[in-house]
Amino acid sequence: MATTSATVTATESGLQELAKRHLWMHFTRHGAYRDADVPIIVRGEGPYVWDEKGNRYLDGLSALFCVNAGHGRTELGDAAARQVSELDFYTLWSYAHPGAIELASRIASLAPADLNRVFFTNSGSEAVESAIKLARAYHQRTGNPRKTKFITREVAYHGTTLGALAATGISALRQEFEPLVPGGYQVPNTNSYHWPADRDPLWAADQIEEKILYEHPDTVAAVILEPLQNAGGCIPPQDGYFDRVREICDRHNVLLVSDEVICAWGRLGHWFGCQRYGFVPDVMTVAKAITSAYVPMGGMIVSDRIAEPFMGGKEMFAHGSTFAGHPVASAVAMANLDVFEREDLNDHVLRKEGEFRAMLDSLRDIPIVGDVRGAGFFHAIELVKDQETKEGFSDEESESLLRGFLSGELFRRGLICRADDRGDPVIQLSPPLICDTEQFEEIENVLRPVLMEAWERLEK
């Protein structure tokens, strides 16, 4: 049955029915909403959003690590409107337009070293997909056609298109869609919370070299890593990790791709996450907060060295998509970066991250709080059954703790954050970069009683 236009104009209560009947939400268990309301977000202002019943929530996840400048910035909409009245759309296939040119130049001026060439996409998955293709094509052109494999980390999320999914190290997300693009291999990540105390701190970095040697350096094209790994709960690198990885990549002529889809645009207090950890990748992938997600946009920022074989004579990178670098997205990205610069958002994160972290650390007296980790405005709490032994939860316990209680209860009390069990169970916080003491207190006022109650439920 197709819907008639009359049924599409919904009243507020009708929205629930229509959502349940017609909308296919992403990564969502629809069964969970059979007897419960779909959370329908209708308005946003600063760090807050409101649902269709008028309830206010602190958006402690920046709408999935996206709305870094905060909600309701009408100047981003004004920039979009101005762009539409000037030039609605033109493609970057053989043509250019001022918006994409100016944005690419501005990004190059912010990026480290010789990362000067910007290839736009529409999403993070497309950016990662593009980086995989670029790495393969680069090695083909430079005399190493067998270099096709890419190494990523366990539990890391790099997107859903089949190449990006082969980079994703979460087996539950991959299984139904196999066979994936061949060539994706995973190594351990840097989550040291459960490591033996005497393990070499650079063990995880060295695992990358072991994998390259095992697969043979002649077959490995790229290593793809987030500066601070999101999935698994905001996993920071060890000191010296990226120096070691950079050395390994150089030794074996393997491209280092920094997947900055979350870590760029101030999330860690810098334009790019690699700047926080002092390494220079060959390629960066970005998306999400490049426009603070007011419109979709992604991209790949490439070093001159890697771009060079594609720039001369009759050469071309045979890859692209119609909408990438859209004038409206470019205009919104420029306006978003204006906000960042005018309000000094990167600096604000660096000044306030200690206070944010101290608030989370203060929750360690609750027995269910195991590890607290992260950087900038991007932190996680790993939940445990026993703080001493660091014993975690079984799959069933995780399910009832996270989905049966925590997610719903945090939301009910007005805090949007992420209760995630793609690795060990964690609660993740990634608030808009405008947040300050008032919002940190609000987060604590919700987290503390909810975590206490979660612990009491476990005790029963």
Q: What is the binding site for ligand PLP (CB under 6 A)?
A: 123-125, 128, 157-159, 226, 230, 259, 261-262, 287
Smallest distance from ligand PLP to CB 130, Å = 11
Q: Closer CB to ligand PLP, residue 63 or residue 359? A: 63
The structure tokens 């004038």 sit at 327
Q: Closer CB to ligand PLP, residue 317 or residue 378? A: 378
Strand order in the sheet with 426-429: 369-375, 378-383, 426-429, 418-420
Smallest distance from ligand PLP to CB 158, Å = 5
Residue nearest to ligand PLP according to CB distances in the complex? 124
Q: Closer CB to ligand PLP, residue 287 or residue 335? A: 287
3-state SS assignment for residue 150: strand
Smallest distance from ligand PLP to CB 109, Å = 24
**CA dihedral of residues 253, 257, 258, 264 (deg, nearest 10):** 140
Smallest distance from ligand PLP to CB 224, Å = 9
Strand-strand pairing, 184-187 and 149-153: parallel
Q: Closer CB to ligand PLP, residue 161 or residue 398? A: 161
Q: Residue 113: what residue type? A: A
Strand-strand pairing, 378-383 and 369-375: antiparallel
Interior/surface letters 2-13, b for 16+ CB within 10 angstroms, e for the rest: eeeeeeeeeeee
DSSP 300-353: EEEEHHHHGGGTSTT-------TTTT-HHHHHHHHHHHHHHHHHTHHHHHHHHH
Q: Closer CB to ligand PLP, residue 226 or residue 382? A: 226
Smallest distance from ligand PLP to CB 261, Å = 4
Q: Closer CB to ligand PLP, residue 173 or residue 458? A: 173
Smallest distance from ligand PLP to CB 185, Å = 17
* Beta pairing partners, 282: none
Quote the CA–CA distance of 177 and 385 in Å, as a whole number.
Answer: 34
Q: Closer CB to ligand PLP, residue 220 or residue 289? A: 289
Smallest distance from ligand PLP to CB 230, Å = 5
**Two tokens at 180?**
């994936």
Cβ atoms of 92 and 299 closer than 8 Å: no
